[in-house]
Amino acid sequence: MPTDAPSNLPPVLRPDAPPVRALDELAARFAREVRGDTAGRSVTGVTLATADLRAGEVFVAIRGANRHGAEFGAAAAEKGAVAIVTDAAGADIAADAGIPILVVEDPRGVLGELSAWIFGTGPGDDLPLLFGTTGTNGKTSVSHLLEGILTQIGVTSGLSSTAERHIAGQVIVSRLTTPEASEMHALLALMRERGVEAVAIEVSAQALSRRRVDGIVFDVAAFTNLTHDHLDDYADMEDYFEAKLPLFRPDRAKRAVISLDSASGADVVARCEIPYVTVGAPAIAVDPAAAAAADWSVEIVAERQTGTEFTLTSTDGRSLTTIVPVIGQHMAANAALAIVMMLEAGYAWDVIAATLARDGAIEAYLPGRTERVSGDHGPAVYVDFGHSPDAFEKTLAAVRRVTPGRVVMLFGADGDRDATKRHDMGRTGVEGSDILVITDHHPRFEDPDSIRATLIEGARRARPDAEIHEYSPPERAIIEAVALVGEGDAILWAGPGHQDYRDIRGIRTPYSARELSRRALRAAGWPVPEPHWPVPYPENETPASDPLRPIY
């Protein structure tokens, strides 16, 4: 929703020396009506939010669910906006702002092209190689693995994922999975300015539907899978699938790499409008025969707590064996997808293969993706961002294969998000674990007691005799979960992953599942490694968002 309130999100990134455009040229290119004098004014950027606006930028005012962004036109002018771009209704609302108003038919629809023109980041401009990955699960992992391998072979790389933004080694916390178009183009301009040669970008279905990647043509686009999720945004799975497809058209990407591990992979192949190659991992594929017949196949060699060894082989006989530094056969498939994306972009097979052989493994850090936060002794504790039934199933199976003892599953569910998957989350959680611990995640404005009850109902239907515990808040749940395990056992805490907050009635409350896990282990007497993530609260403080009360 449009707002002029200060943002508690990480700041929007912009180039230090942005191109300077003439406002009257912008008006001639994009506006169907101009109110006010545009002559002599220069433009250095564009934004949707007055909280992030800098002097010299254009403020694009769109209609939100409850308010029109044009209501903040005067605030934009006070902060130094050179013009407002909005629709006819917005132009009337912002009439007294005192700066030129450029009227367009659809402000959001024009935002990508407008941003690309302002920052010089559109098709035909001098840009790094652009990699885009979409799918329900695996987008973040593929993006981080891709960036890791690029860095290993000596490429100055950039990253835009759910977890982080990386710019030639600089790490910044992310705001959205895929930034708004204005932010995305500003980020690309900054990366170009810093000498970045290739960028891995996570592209959500919502980013395509809400036009956040408009004005960008990816050199290589990839599809991971399609499973039950996001039905709060899409009418059904077919609608959700259709939202992904625009990435595989000539106006969005030049080449594609498509995984055949989910049933939807073949559907993407059938609808793909650009040259493509396929990748398959028969060990995890819905249709192993189809995956085995892919252009590139993935064979799992070994699974250990420190990583997963796999062999990638092409139909023309090329083959390499390496290790992805996280557990899970699905992570090997993600790594293979990243390698093939690099090949499709023109990087040499011999260079990639020789580098991985030299280093003995892929060197990449995947924040909150089956991330082990425990030490060498005691129970293994993994924190993961997965929050769908399919992600639970795959990750639990991976944990099971490397755990000699019992597996405890700890999770909650998002409030005010797709509620249709909650029974299946409970079912897959209880089916893949020995003990289930249900807690809270982001309740938002929904009743957390009701969310937990639905998860437990789904679990009880699947396994009436299962050992199930319920604790609120999660600060208590992880302590109780650690009390249930010992040497050789494992805990998978799914959902929070890398996130450093919980959304409680619209307030971002500081919170770190990774750090809470470390503290619970240490309090129980187990050794823990030093954290390599930012801790959102002091060492001697453990946030409690609700009364610390066990619920049975």
Structure tokens at 510: 């500081």
Q: Which parts of the chain register pLDDT below 70? A: 1-11, 174-178, 228-232, 534, 536-552
Report whether 475 contacts 519 (CB < 8 A): no
| Predicted pLDDT of residue 169 | 86
| Predicted pLDDT of residue 231 | 65
| Predicted pLDDT of residue 532 | 75
| Predicted pLDDT of residue 501 | 85
CB atoms within 10 A of CB 537: 15
Q: What angle do CA 427, 476, 452 make, to 5 degrees?
A: 30
- Reading across the β-sheet that carries 407-411, which strands appear in turn? 371-372, 380-384, 490-494, 407-411, 435-438, 467-472, 549-551
Residue 352 zone, left/alpha/beta (φ > 0; ψ -120 to 50; rest):
alpha
Residues of the chain with CATH 3.40.1390.10: 21-119
Produce one character per residue of 204-238: b if its CB has 16 or more CB atoms within 10 Å, e if not.
Answer: bbebbbbbbbbbbbbbbbbbbbbbbbbbebbeeee
- Residue 316's contacts (CB-CB under 8 Å, 6 or more residues apart) are none
Question: Would you identify the CATH topology of the domain 21-119?
Answer: 3.40.1390
DSSP for 166-184, please give it.
Answer: EETTEEEE-SSSS--HHHH
| Predicted pLDDT of residue 552 | 25
Residues of the chain with CATH 3.40.1190.10: 129-359
371-551 maps to CATH 3.90.190.20: yes
CATH number assigned to the domain covering 129-359: 3.40.1190.10
- In 3D space, the residue among 241, 256, 249 whose CA is nearest the CA of residue 205 turns out to be 241
Residues of the chain with CATH 3.90.190.20: 371-551
- Cis before 473 (ω within 30): yes
- Distance (Å, rounded) from C-alpha 356 to C-alpha 60? 46
CB atoms within 10 A of CB 283: 17
